[in-house]
Amino acid sequence: SAVISQKPSRDICQRGTSLTIQCQVDSQVTMMFWYRQQPGQSLTLIATANQGSEATYESGFVIDKFPISRPNLTFSTLTVSNMSPEDSSIYLCSVDSINEQFFGPGTRLTVL
């Protein structure tokens, strides 16, 4: 299984600002995924990030709000733009390895 780290682990932000979350994997992977977990809820896929191409967003998520970068096979960033309190969630990155997905520890975001 892959070892995945995320930075920051948590942050408290003011509305209207943006936060960039980093995800680092200890091995090269083709596909990385970004999920959102709202308080007390399950995980919802935001987008799939492939190296060398634009991220693919799920219904209800747009690039202007959640721009993603994937500069190489071990790293990705997710930016939460123009934040509002409704963006308060845990944001998780994951990677797929032979039909099994492994997750980072998550970034807990609170927007005031």
Partner 1 sequence: GQQLNQSPQSMFIQEGEDVSMNCTSSSIFNTWLWYKQDPGEGPVLLIALYKAGELTSNGRLTAQFGITRKDSFLNISASIPSDVGIYFCAGPPTSGTYKYIFGTGTRLKVLA
How far CA 107 is from CA of 5, 21, 33, 84, 91, in Å, comes to 10, 7, 14, 16, 5
Positive or negative torsion for Cα 37, 65, 32, 1: negative
If the CB atoms of residues 17 and 28 are measured against partner 1, the closer one turns out to be 28
CB 93 within 8 A of CB 4: yes
Single-letter amino acid, residue 54 = E
Subset of 87-106 contacting partner 1 (CB under 8 A): 92, 94, 96, 99-106
Fill in the per-residue mask, 23 to 52: x = in contact with partner 1 (CB under 8 A), - = not in contact: --------x-x--------xxxx--x----
Residue 14 interacts with partner 1 (CB under 8 A)? no
Residue 7 interacts with partner 1 (CB under 8 A)? no
Residues near partner 1 (CB under 8 A) are 1, 4, 31, 33, 42-45, 48, 58-59, 92, 94, 96, 99-106, 108
